[in-house]
Amino acid sequence: MTRRKVSIIGAGQVGATCAHWLAQKQLADIVLLDIVEGLAQGKALDLYEASPVGRFDVRITGTGDYRDTAQSDIVIITSGLPRKPGMSRDDLLATNARIVADVTRQVVAHSPQTILIVVSNPLDVMVAVAAEVGQLPKQRILGMAGILDTARYRSFIAEALQVSVTDILAILLGGHGDDMVPLPRYTSVGGVPLTELMDAETIDRIVDRTRNGGIEIVNLLAKGSAFYAPSAGAVEMVQAILQDQRRILCCCAWCDQEYNVGGHFVGVPIVLGANGVEKVIELDLTEPEKQLFSASVRHVAELTATLTTMGI
């Protein structure tokens, strides 16, 4: 039987933690790649040496050579600069676009049948860069953002209500930024609508904290940005694909006629399975929700257009 293979590009905090979650779940053999000499090799060896204690049995390879990623079922791209205090995700645009473009070229050259999961920021635009450069079918290129954002949203709700996070289901639309659109109407706690359990003022406060969840962590860390939750989100996507779970998850996916987006990668609920994006789920939005979502899509479109003017 052919063993499944997942490659992770970038052995920083997010990439290395992705490798850790993947190994623990024994989802596939892992290749961890970084251009910094010895970084991926050292972290891969350290993780492999933990396998007897953690009781996971997968191959873990550290490398700086893209040939070692050949024939990957899934490639997770985490490469790029992280945010620093005072920076927005958009501030990373030009530098990370060049990095993601270069990574994508090399990944697709060695794994033309792969599914790409992009984690680099600004997320939605980096997915568009990977799509433009990689020229893979749109359903095989997507971004990890909605899972992270809904995880923050759900954890804040659980904290406020003093209930288990596992009982909370939530939907969130839009770009991975300050104008993301959490949807309280489509949020439930143990099957009970959130609006039945929490007043509007508290919901608004949680929505605002969700939108600023990333910078809250950046400011606390001072050096670096979030890595546990983003990597866990990426691995949840890997599991849904490799096990063909057909999970309904919020991810950055290609939308054209859907929601009248008009051809952009943006956060929406999708069915995620063996082929990548199996279906985009269209919700019946209220007019205020439509306006918020449209504003978020416009922001993504403006950033994407900025790359064109930069010649990227």
For the annotated catalytic residues, the residue numbers are: 176
Q: How far apart are CA 307 and CA 312, in angstroms?
A: 5
**Three-state SS at 112:** coil
Interior/surface letters 77-103, b for 16+ CB within 10 angstroms, e for the rest: bbbbebbeeeeebbebbeebbebbbeb
State how far the alpha carbon of 252 is from the alpha carbons of 55, 91, 144, in Å.
33, 20, 6
Q: How far apart are CA 157 and CA 263, in angstroms?
A: 33
Q: Other C-beta atoms within 10 Å of 264: how many?
A: 21
Cβ pair 49, 265 in contact under 8 A: no
Give the pair of three-digit tokens for residue 259: 């929601």
Find the distance separating the first CA and the last CA of the chain, reported in whole Å.
Answer: 41
Residue 103 neighbours by CB under 8 Å, 6+ apart: 9, 77, 79
